[in-house]
Chains A and B, each alone.
Chain A
Amino acid sequence: MSWGKRKKTGKHLGRGRLTALYVVLVLGSVMMLLPFVWMVSTSFKVENDIFSIPIKWLPQKITFENYIKALRVVPIAKNMLNTVIIAVPKILGEVFVSALVAFGFARFAFKGRNILFMILLATMMLPYEVTMIPTFMIWSHLGLSDSYVPLVLPAFCGSASFIFFMRMYFETIPKDYEEAAWLDGAKNLKVFYMIFIPMAKPALVTISLWSFMGTWNDLLGQLIYIDSQHKYTVQLALASFSSMTGETLWGPLMAASCMALIPIIALLLYAQKYFMEGIKLGGIKG
C-alpha cells in the first residue's frame, strides 16, 4: 500500500537495470522537454538562425526583437488579465458551490438524494456539445454574448465532477467531528464552514487548480462567446495571432507562446505537490 514498502523491493533491481531505467527515463524527459527548449530557443533567435539548414539548436546571437514584435501585435499582459478576470470569480463560484452541494449530498439524507446523485453522474457523461448551441442562443438573446458572463455565471451552479470529487472527500471525514457541533446546536452552514472547509483544504486547492487550468486552456468556450478584440483572452489572442501571421513569423509566435506558458509552468512547479496529491483523493480528472 505505502510508498515505503515499495522502496524495499527497489533494492532487488540490479545496478545495471537501474541504470537502464534511468537512461530510458532521461531520454523520455528529453522528448518531453524538447518542444519547450525549441520554443524558448527560437524565441531568442534572429531570423537567419530561425530559417537555417541545418537547424541551429541555440541562438547564435540573442535578440529580444521577437518579443518586441509579438507584444506590438498581442497585448499579452492584457490578455492574461482578461483570462484572470474570468478565472477568479469562476474558481470562487465553482469551488465554493461545488463543496456546498457535495456537503449536502454527503451529510444529509433528504428525499430523492440517490436519484439526484445518479442524475449528477449522468450529466458528467453528457456532452457539452449538445447544450452548447442552445445555451449560446439564450445568452445572445439576453444580449450577453460578447461578455464574460456566460463563461462565469454557470460556475455558480457548481461543476458535476467537482461535486463528485468533494463528496468522495467529505465521506472520508469521520462523522464524530461534526456530531458534537450539531448537538451543540450549531447551524448547518456553520458546521460546513467551521469543520468541513478547513478539513478539506488540500482537496479544495486541488480543484481550484483544475478549475484554473480549465479556464486558462479553454479555447472553444471563449471562441464562441468573445468577439471584441479588447476582451480577448490568452487563448484567443494566440489563436488569432497564429491564423493572422501564417508561416513566416515563427520568432514572434514562439515569443508569444513562451509568454503564455510561463505562468502555467511556474504554477505547476510551485503547486506540483497539490497536482500530484490529487491522485490520492481518487484520481479523477477535472
Chain B
Amino acid sequence: MKKRQRAGFYFILPWLIGLIVFTAFPMLAAAYISLTDWDIVGNAKFIGLDNFKNVFRSEEFIKSLWVTFRYAILAVPLIIATSLTMAVMVSKNYKGMRIFRVIYYMPAIVSGVAVAIVFKWILDPSYGLINGVLSFFHIKGPDWLYDPDWVLPSYLIMAMWGAGGSLLTYLAALKDIPQDLYDAAMIDGANTWKKVKYITIPLMTPIIFYNLVLGIIAAFRKFTDAYVLGGAGKEGNFYMVYLYEEAFSHYRMGYATALAWILFAIILLLTIIVNWTKKYWVYSE
C-alpha cells in the first residue's frame, strides 16, 4: 500500500515540476523585476517602488484602466443576460434545437484575429454592413471605431455576438433543474414568466455566479480584439494592450511587470467583492 502511495506522487510529478519552473519561479522573478528598471538588454537596476508610483501617475494607465473597467461593467451583465436567454430558448428538445445550439455556440469557437478583422469591416463607417443596413432606414450610422464616443458600443456589439461562449454551462445547469418544480408551479397556475422568475433564475444563480467571476476576469484580460481593432482617442487601449505595448514595444519590463501585479490585484479584489455578495443573491440548498 505504501508503495502505491508513492506511485501517486510520481504521477503528479510532471505537474509539480511545471509548478516550480513555470509558475513559482517566474512569480518570484516577477516580484523582483517589478522593483527594477530593466530594458532586457542591460542589467536590471533596483529602483524600489518607483514603477508602482509611476504607474499611478501615468495618464495612459488611468485611461486604459477606465476603458477596461467601463467595458467590463457593461459587457459582463450583457453577456450573461444574452447567453442565459439563449440557453432558456434552446434548452427544450424541440425539432432543430441542436442546430440552434451549434449556431449560437459557434462564435465562441471561432474567436481570434479573423473574427476581429471581419468586425472591423462590418463596423466600417462608409461601406460596412451595420451602417449599410441603417441607411436602408434612412439612419446615418455613427463612425463606430473612428469616433471616441462609439468605440465602447462597438466592442459591446462584438461581445454580445460572442455571448454564446458560456451557453453550454447554462444548458448543463438548466438540465439539472428538477421537472417537478415546474409541474408543481403549473398546477398552481403559474405562467411562463413566473416560472422563469421564481424557479429558473433562482436555481441558475450558482452558474450565473460562476460565469460572472469568469466574465470579469476575461473582460480585464481582453487582448486579441483590442489589439486588432484599436479605436479612436485611445478608447480601444485595453489594459492588456497597454501592458503588452509597454513590455514588448517599449521594453519597459519592470514597469510592465508592475502593471501585471496591479492587474492581478484588481482581479483578486473584484473576485473577493463578488464572492462577498454571493450570500445576498446566490441560491444554495
- A interface with B by C-beta (< 8 Å): 1, 3-7, 9-10, 12-13, 18, 21-22, 24-25, 28-29, 31-36, 38-39, 42, 50-55, 97, 100-101, 103-105, 107-111, 113, 116, 119-120, 123, 125-138, 140, 154, 156-158, 160, 163, 188, 192, 213, 216-217, 219-220, 223-224, 234-235, 238-239, 242-243, 247, 250, 253-254, 256-257, 260-261, 264-265, 268-269, 272, 275-276, 278-280, 282-285
Contact = CB atoms under 8 A, between A and B. Distances in A.
Interface in B1-34: 4-12, 14-19, 21-23, 25-27, 29-30, 33
A13 to B, nearest CB: 8
B110 interface: yes
Contact of B107 (A32, A107, A120, A219): A32
A129 B264 contact: yes
Contacts of A279: 168-169, 171-172
B171 A129 contact: no
Interface in B122-136: 122, 124, 126-127, 129, 132-133, 135-136
B18 A109 contact: no
B73 interface: no
A154 B15 CA distance: 10
Contacts of A261: 110, 114-115
Main secondary structure of the interface of B (DSSP, over half): helix
Contacts of A235: 112-113, 224
A125 B171 CA distance: 24
Secondary structure of the A contact surface, majority rule? helix
Contacts of A103: 11
Given A29-B104, A219-B112, A257 B118 contact: yes
Interface residues on B, range: 35 or more
B277 interface: no
Contacts of A100: 11, 14
Interface in B231-253: 240, 243-244, 247-248, 253
B284 interface: no
Nearest to B256: A133
A12 to B, nearest CB: 7
A127 B264 contact: yes
